[in-house]
Chains A and B, each alone.
Chain A
Amino acid sequence: MVIEPILISLKTASVAILFTFVIGTFLAYVVFKMKNGVIKSVVDTILTLPLVLPPTVAGFFLLYIFGVYRPLGRLLGYIGIKIVFSWPATVLAAVVIALPLMYRSAKGAFQQVDPIYMQAARTIGMSNVHIAFRILFPLSGPGLASGGILAFSRGLGEFGATAMIAGNIAGVTRTMPLAIYSAVSGGNMELAYSYVVVLVLISFIFVWGLNYVTEHGSNKRRASSDQD
């Protein structure tokens, strides 16, 4: 078994989650604060769409935007950045596909926070930015953490969009899911088997962690409401 796909997968998922977490939380906050109901639900739908569309469709859009003959792809090409069929493309694919999970978890977590805390914060003069970072985000902690784990695990297992925009270049863009695909299509079931075991194990550990965070978070919340 070549260990490279495992390392590439872990590297891709780790870098991707940094972007996914920040962008997903930020977008959730923006939508959470929106007052216009129509715009809010339109934006919400667009941000959720990658969750239900086949990843190949997301990959198609990404190719459409970043392809070397497209305006943005060409612009990036001039300054020496080539996204498609390079390692950054695996990150891009993982971010786009995992973003809805992070976004929805974060938005759900914000909605769970009792608005009275934000009201109290406003009446003692705290700015909106201050309220977000000191009150809203900390009180959404368990929800943000579980969203992060979910998004990381999804990034780790990303296949369709990655194949479309990053290709399947051994040692560069061949992540574990792609390696499994290549092994099976090459008739090497033994090799596929070992990658499958590794992927299942890693995912198992993270989803276990996710359950721990969710349980732990809700226990804490329950304990505090008992005191009231």
Chain B
Amino acid sequence: MGLYVDIKKSYKGFTLTSSFESGKDSLGILGASGSGKSVTLKCIAGLITPDEGVIKVNGKTVFDSAAKINLPPQQRNVGYLFQNYALFPHMTVWANIALAIRDKSKNKEKTISDLLERYELTGLEKRYPTSLSGGQQQRVALARIFAYEPEILLLDEPFSALDAFLRENMQAQLIRILKDYDGDVVLVTHSRDEVYRICSRLLIMSKGNIVANGETNTLFQNPPNVISARITGCKNLSEIERLSEYRVRALDWGCEIETDEPIDEAHTNIGIRAHYFTKTPAGAAADYSRIPVEVDEVMDSAFDKTVILRVPGVPHRSILSSDKTGEDGRIWWICEKNTDISGLDALYVHKKDLLLLRS
């Protein structure tokens, strides 16, 4: 059951093609802004009409272009948490929730006070949304959605309106709230941390297409292609030339790398996550690939250190030519703050941590 989506939509200069199914767990959609992830969500809710395709919610067809079915949002039974929560500013917390109560035969007072208690909003019922904190607003929005008893829940960048230091706490709260919810959850975000914490399954979207679909853990450990690797946060990506079954030349970095996994013709790039380098092999030297480097730049953060390196003798391209890290032929290494990098001439990476990618 769950959600079934197979749609096409021309939108602001690109065509969105979205096709997936969700199970009982929470599904994350990860992508940069403008990748079509929010449009997908709005199509499911009925706020945007796709050009063609089918959308089913728990087996019920809510959109089918061939059969000319297009139920209005009111009949889709889909809860939608908006980016800025969309609480009605001229109504109190109480009135906001009361409007959404689906079952009018229920005792309204009791339903609302139960919801207020469950989302720790008791005492705030007479307040207006603008006088609430970001976290409180989000809980009111969730209470309003659950008053409507939706079959599935769509979360559109739920934490982007919050300050960074509130975010982690709110993520923990949301995970707790979602545990009590029976329906499917779809979370759209550009934050890797959010999907990793909240969603067991993951779609990666780029420029209107789904580029990867699978278990969240698997996709982070083994992204199938270059775009997924970049979106899941891989900072070091290089095109490769296959030298032998277990040996490639990394063209952007100008060095040779040995791999564990056999390389075939379809592999076009190699990726190494910035956290995965070590100064010395932590185990058998044969398990590690060695990359000769020299330090180019060091950036200190609060709790770690970013070292930008290059292979000696390889001229690096202008850093300004691209917004993306690791595309100027330099290698990023994020290490512990107190790491001593004087006299560093090589980095090691476990062969299991090398990402062999298709384009």
Contacts and interface: CB of A to CB of B under 8 A. Distances in A.
Contact of B130 (A120, A124, A227): A227
Interface string A213-228: 0000000000110011
A70 interface: no
A127 interface: yes
B102 A123 contact: no
B89 A139 contact: yes
Contact of B90 (A114, A116, A139): A139
Given A125-B74, A126-B74, A120 B80 contact: yes
Interface string B77-121: 011101010111110000000011010000000000000000000
Interface of chain B: mostly helix, strand, loop or mixed:
loop
A108 B320 CA distance: 44
B148 interface: yes
B46 interface: yes
A122 interface: yes
B83 to A, nearest CB: 8
Nearest to A116: B86
Contacts of A127: 74
Nearest to B133: A227
Residue of B89, B100, B131, B161 contacting most chain A CB atoms (<10 Å): B89
B47 interface: yes
Nearest to A225: B130
B72 interface: yes
Contacts of A123: 45-47, 73, 76, 78-80, 148
A135 B86 CA distance: 12
Given A119-B82, A228-B84, A124 B90 contact: no
Nearest to A138: B90
Contacts of A227: 130-131
A120 B46 contact: no
Contacts of A124: 99-100, 144-145, 147-148
A122 to B, nearest CB: 4
Interface in B27-49: 45-47
A26 interface: no
A117 B130 contact: no
A40 interface: no
Contacts of B80: 119-120, 123
Interface of chain A: mostly helix, strand, loop or mixed:
helix
Interface residues of B, number: 27
Nearest to A228: B84
A122 B90 contact: no
B76 to A, nearest CB: 8
A119 B88 contact: no
Contact of B47 (A119, A135, A224, A228): A119
A223 B84 contact: no
B82 A120 contact: yes
Given A116-B84, A134-B99, A228-B84, A122 B89 contact: no
A125 B102 contact: yes
A125 B148 contact: yes
Contact of A122 (B47, B79, B88, B131): B47
Given A134-B99, A223-B130, A228-B161, A122 B86 contact: no
B12 to A, nearest CB: 16
B63 to A, nearest CB: 15
B148 A120 contact: no
A227 B136 CA distance: 13
A130 to B, nearest CB: 8
Interface string B126-140: 000011000000000
A117 B88 contact: yes
Contacts of B100: 124-125
A49 to B, nearest CB: 33
Contacts of B88: 117, 120-121, 135, 139
A126 B99 contact: yes
B159 to A, nearest CB: 14
Contacts of B84: 116, 228
22 contacts: A116-B82, A116-B84, A117-B88, A119-B45, A119-B80, A120-B86, A120-B87, A121-B88, A123-B80, A124-B99, A124-B145, A124-B147, A125-B74, A125-B100, A125-B148, A126-B99, A134-B99, A139-B88, A139-B89, A224-B89, A224-B130, A228-B161
User: Would you list the 4 A-B pairs with minimal beta carbon distance, nearest first?
Assistant: A120-B86, A124-B100, A122-B73, A123-B80
